A and B are shown apart, each in its own frame.
Chain A
Amino acid sequence: EAGVAQSPRYKIIEKRQSVAFWCNPISGHATLYWYQQILGQGPKLLIQFQNNGVVDDSQLPKDRFSAERLKGVDSTLKIQPAKLEDSAVYLCASSGQRGGVNEQFFGPGTRLTVL
């Protein structure tokens, strides 16, 4: 079974530029998550989708971050404009059950450096 795919793996941009990350979850997984992992910290949930609807985006900086999951499969996370403090690894995860306890499967992440 293919895992969670993310691209690009690395991205370097200058502040005030825009950037987009792409995630392809495990086939059939209805729930998709985007996490931000700043160096030395644990991952922090940015947004959670159930199919193509947003379940939780309470920690997403909506003035500069946006995310979509058209057709309930792939997802993109965008930052516009980027700030220095956005330098982090952006992890995508997916899971396959409604409610209950299920395992989140993580992709390899995209390492963003903002100069």
Chain B
Amino acid sequence: AQSVTQLGSHVSVSEGALVLLRCNYSSSVPPYLFWYVQYPNQGLQLLLKYTSAATLVKGINGFEAEFKKSETSFHLTKPSAHMSDAAEYFCAVSGAGGGNKLTFGTGTQLKVEL
């Protein structure tokens, strides 16, 4: 069985500060890992994905994430927060086999303050 745990349901940062959203995974097979963003009243948009190539993955809007097998982590970072980054962020895992079923974490609401 696969699962992800997102630490912190709410994170607040100042504009221009570092954004760090935490995700730890549990998987019995080599995982594929994803970060999605959800703006109010919208569907989910893929930020980035790890598919067993480079461990440091760069995504859209200046976000990146590093896969650390020893820590079973896939934390999302952005060097400088912008007001437009305020949204809910979901980490998700799927197995390397077929099916592509995504298992999502409970989400982290990011608030960006002036």
Contact = CB atoms under 8 A, between A and B. Distances in A.
B45 A106 contact: yes
Q: Is the interface of B mostly helix, strand, loop or mixed?
A: loop
A56 B100 CA distance: 11
Given A99-B97, A101-B32, A101-B51, A44 B45 contact: no
A111 B105 CA distance: 20
A102 B32 CA distance: 10
Interface string A40-77: 11111100100000011000000000000000000000
A25 interface: no
A97 B44 CA distance: 19
The size class of the interface chain B forms with chain A is 20 to 34
A43 B100 contact: no
Interface in B13-61: 32, 36, 41-46, 49, 51
Interface residues of A, number: 26
Contacts of A45: 101-103
Contacts of B104: 42-44
Given A31-B100, A42-B107, 13 more contacts: A41-B106, A42-B106, A48-B99, A91-B43, A91-B44, A98-B98, A99-B97, A101-B100, A103-B49, A106-B44, A107-B43, A108-B43, A109-B43
30 contacts: A40-B9, A40-B107, A41-B106, A42-B92, A42-B104, A42-B106, A42-B107, A43-B44, A43-B102, A45-B102, A45-B103, A48-B101, A55-B99, A56-B101, A91-B43, A93-B44, A95-B100, A99-B99, A100-B98, A101-B32, A101-B49, A101-B51, A101-B94, A101-B100, A103-B49, A104-B102, A107-B43, A108-B41, A108-B43, A109-B42
